[in-house]
Structures are given as structure tokens and as C-alpha cells.
Amino acid sequence: MNLNHTHSTFPPEQLIGLGKTAAQTAETSGMSLTDAVVRSIGMTKLNEQQVRRVVEAANHEAFHRKFASMDSNMRVVELDGGPADPGAVMERLGAAAMPMKLSSQASHYGSPPRYVAVVSPYSEPISKTAALRPVHDMRSELMASHEELVGQLGARQADVEMAVQKLAYVSRQAVHEGAYFEDLETVWGAVNPKLATEMLGALGLPHAGPGVKVASRRISESAEVVTAFRKFAQVAESYEVASEAVRAMEQELIKVDSFLGSM
């Protein structure tokens, strides 16, 4: 498998499909997500950028699978064995074909690893600049992916801001119609307790006074103040997923920069 040259174009949905297959394999077999991506790609000829798209899709799918399986009160997602490491995937896929490879000697997304440039004894002598060219190319691709992810994060942030504005508006309407802090605490808490607590604190809604039997009050699940909170919770979770993707990409850049700085 040649990771230095572009092969035939693969539709994005096919690369995403390979990633989803890897996530399912990791979930059902117990193997690491990195190993599952290597198995999913197999002998398919992909270039570096395509491999990275598969890794991103696998990490995204694995995150969502883990998130969906968790209790609604839990919001910290940790993938068993860590997310797939694109550097490790490419190393294993290209080990037999590349005269030079970049190997990571640290756990996935852990402390900055020590990379080792390995030159095959069968390759022609090459300069340091030429030896590092694949690493610089990799960094350029990482930067491009990082910029794309940051753009997506900005879009998700805008979605959150709009959802918060809508929620604040309909919450004030609900209060005007007789709802109290405790009413919304009940119906919002059934959707997402943590976000409910955060939003109720931020909005400063009035509490029920003495003699008001809040327990006997009911707000329909189809009420606008409930559907607006569900929408807010949905976009807030999407924002967290996008934030995690940006953080993971930044960790990859730190690894590459650390390696280049040591050369």
C-alpha cells in the first residue's frame, strides 16, 4: 500500500463506511479501534488523506456508539483503548511498502510520543530533508483537517447560541403563563439533568412561592418550552462532539511538531 501517492478517488460515503465498519468491529470484537481500522481498510489502496478520513469516521462513529449506550446522567465519553491513531494506522498499512515510516512509541493520544524515522536498508541513501518530507506533508494535511474541524466547531457554536436565545424566549413565555423554576426543572431534567441545571441557573427563572404545589403541575412534553430545550440539548451535544474532534486533531499536531522539533 502506497501512502505517498494519490490513488483512485473514493466517494466520501465509502470512506465513512469503512470507518463505521471499523467502529462496529472494535465494539463487537474488543480489539482496539486502531486495529479495527487497519482490518477495515485491509488491502484497499488509499492515500494518506483518505486513511485519515477513515480514521476520523471511525472515531466519530465509536464516540456516538459509546455516547448512545451511556446513562443520560453521564456526559464524559471515554473510548476503550482510546481513539484510532492515524499515524499508527498508516504505519501498519505501509510497513511492508514504504522505505521510510513514522512510528509512534507512545499510547494513543497520551503523552507526546517519541517518533523514529526508519529507513529501509534496501532504499537509496536519502537526505534529512527528503526523509522528513512525508512528515511535513502529513503536518500540512493535519493543519487542513484542523481548519476544517474548527470551521465545523464554529458552526456548531452558532447553533448553540441560536438555541439558547430561543430557549430563553420561550422560557420567559412559560413563566408569563404561570410556570416556575421547579416546573421546568422537572421536564428539562427528564431530558438532560446536567444541562437543565446549567440553563436554569443561567436564566434566573422565579421559584414557586409558599403554598404553590408544584408537584401537581404538569407541562406537556410537546410544549414549546420542552421542545426548545430538547433542541438546545441536541446542538449542545453536537458542539461537544465537534470540540472533541478539534482537541484530538490538536493532539496529533503536537505529536508531529514534537517529532520535527527533535530532528
Which H or E element spans position 261?
helix 224-262
The stretch 160-189 carries a mean pLDDT of: 88
Amino acid at 245: A
Q: Is residue 233 predicted with pLDDT exceeding 90?
A: yes
Domain ranges of the chain: 1-98, 127-263
The stretch 75-103 carries a mean pLDDT of: 63
**pLDDT at site 224:** 92
**Of the given ranges (68-77, 110-119, 221-230), which has the lowest mean pLDDT?**
110-119
Model confidence at 100, pLDDT cuts 50, 70, 90, reads: very low
Q: Is residue 200 predicted with pLDDT exceeding 50?
A: yes
- Higher pLDDT among residues 70 and 87, named by residue: 87
- Higher pLDDT among residues 107 and 171, named by residue: 171
In the block, cell 500500500 appears at 1
Alpha carbons 94 and 161: distance in angstroms, whole number: 44
Residues 179 and 204: beta-carbon distance below 8 Å: no
**pLDDT at site 122:** 37
The stretch 215-238 carries a mean pLDDT of: 84
Residue pLDDT, tens place only, 150-163: 888 899 899 999 99
**pLDDT at site 123:** 40
**pLDDT at site 251:** 86
Mean pLDDT of the chain: 75
Residues 179 and 225: beta-carbon distance below 8 Å: yes
Q: Is residue 178 predicted with pLDDT exceeding 90?
A: no
Alpha carbons 95 and 66: distance in angstroms, whole number: 31
In the block, cell 488491502 appears at 43
Q: Is residue 237 predicted with pLDDT exceeding 70?
A: yes
Residues 91 and 101: beta-carbon distance below 8 Å: yes
**pLDDT at site 226:** 92
Residue pLDDT, tens place only, 115-165: 344 434 334 444 566 667 777 777 888 888 888 888 888 998 999 999 999
Q: Is residue 198 predicted with pLDDT exceeding 80?
A: yes
Alpha carbons 116 and 101: distance in angstroms, whole number: 8
Model confidence at 113, pLDDT cuts 50, 70, 90, reads: very low
Residues 255 and 115: beta-carbon distance below 8 Å: yes
**pLDDT at site 163:** 92
Share of the chain above pLDDT 90, in %: 14
